[in-house]
Amino acid sequence: MIRFGIAGFGLHAVRRLMPGFALARNCKVVALSRRDSSKAHEAAAKYGIPHVFASTEELCRCPEVDAVLVTTPNALHLQDVLTGIAARKPVLCEKPMGMNADECRQMVEAARNAGVLLGVAQVFRFEESTARFRARIAAGDIGRPIFARAEFSFPDLGHHRTWLYNRSLAGGGPIADVGVHCIDALRYILQDDPRRVSVIGRSDERSGNVESAAIVSVEFQRGTLAAVLVSFRAHYRTPLEIVGDAGVLRADDALNVERSVKLELWREGQPVAEETVSNQLAYARQVDAFAAAVEGREVFPVPGQVGWRNQIILDAAYRSLSSGKGEEVPTVEDDAGRK
């Protein structure tokens, strides 16, 4: 049983992580850190977490903690990850992995030099829906993928994570927060990497110095053209659709973890097959997979290099948002983060 410490125990831990740990088979949470002492002790009492700390450094020194899950605001990821690595603790870092690609490079290189396991929490890679999309496309069910569309939007009417509207803490708006989910899911499903991105975005009176909605156009290396639509304002949606030269694979709310997902295969304008899957266990699978890697039984399928690669793509997207032009996605010598 691997014992996790959660650094930055906040809304995400309450809504997603603790329900996931409750379903996990080989790990549990034994410690948390949070700057607000009263809220930290309140959460610890609610979930029966025995160790409470005010900082990631204190948490990482706890001998009862086998692995650290970093869920602090994005601007703190670099220091928190490096703190965990320095303490020789395996670290699973929430997405987006950093504020820019150079931060991610530092994390990956530090973990490699120390011989410490580093993973990134791209939870959609543990969803049944994305696994079925990937398998069906690999099997040729829609032929060669021509177009792809992924959306992730939700109406933020007073979100608890107010730091999302502060570029110095978040790094960006919905492109960074949920766009990284869509981009990573497409990389995983298509088993391909972006080569060029072009972004149109807008902000509003409530979004501070980040975008509130954006469309990210992505050209993949093997030719698939994708549209990623993200927003903090639009109705909640997570549809996914891949259009090939022999068919279409689609699902409404494909990336959600609350409700069952119906995948539909269409050919010649008619539905020819469907299947219903559940993503309820995605968060449990993620932490159990990391626990298995900590124990040396398996290789964690989403290493830090994946987060680094995703951040390179996000950096290109924000360059495009600023320049108003398409931007190339550079490659790096370390290719372990591909697909």
Tell me the sheet residues that pair with 118: 91
* Position 339 in a domain: no
Whether residues 67 and 30 share a domain: the answer is yes
Whether residues 318 and 207 share a domain: the answer is yes
pTM given for the model: 0.95
Whether residues 226 and 139 share a domain: the answer is yes
The rounded radius of gyration (Å) of the Cα atoms in the chain is 19
What is the amino acid identity at position 297? R
User: Looking at the chain, how many residues does it have?
Assistant: 339
pLDDT of residue 334: 54
Task: List, for the chain, all residue ranges whose pLDDT scores fall below the cut of 70.
Answer: 158-160, 333-339
pLDDT of residue 133: 98
* Residues 282-300 pLDDT 10s: 999 999 999 999 999 999 9
* Position 192 in a domain: yes
Could you tell me the CATH number of the domain that includes residue 16? 3.40.50.720
What is the amino acid identity at position 226? A
pLDDT of residue 111: 98
Q: How many domains does the chain have?
A: 2
Give dist(CA 199, CA 216) in Å, integer.
5
* Position 336 in a domain: no
Contact indicator for 197, 316 with CB cutoff of 8 Å: yes
Contact indicator for 155, 233 with CB cutoff of 8 Å: yes
Whether residues 9 and 107 share a domain: the answer is yes
pLDDT of residue 287: 98
Contact indicator for 181, 97 with CB cutoff of 8 Å: no
Whether residues 29 and 117 share a domain: the answer is yes
Contact indicator for 233, 210 with CB cutoff of 8 Å: no
Angle at alpha carbon of residue 28, lines to 23 and 31, rounded to 5°: 135
Whether residues 89 and 136 share a domain: the answer is no
Domain that holds residue 113: 2-123+284-302
* Position 337 in a domain: no
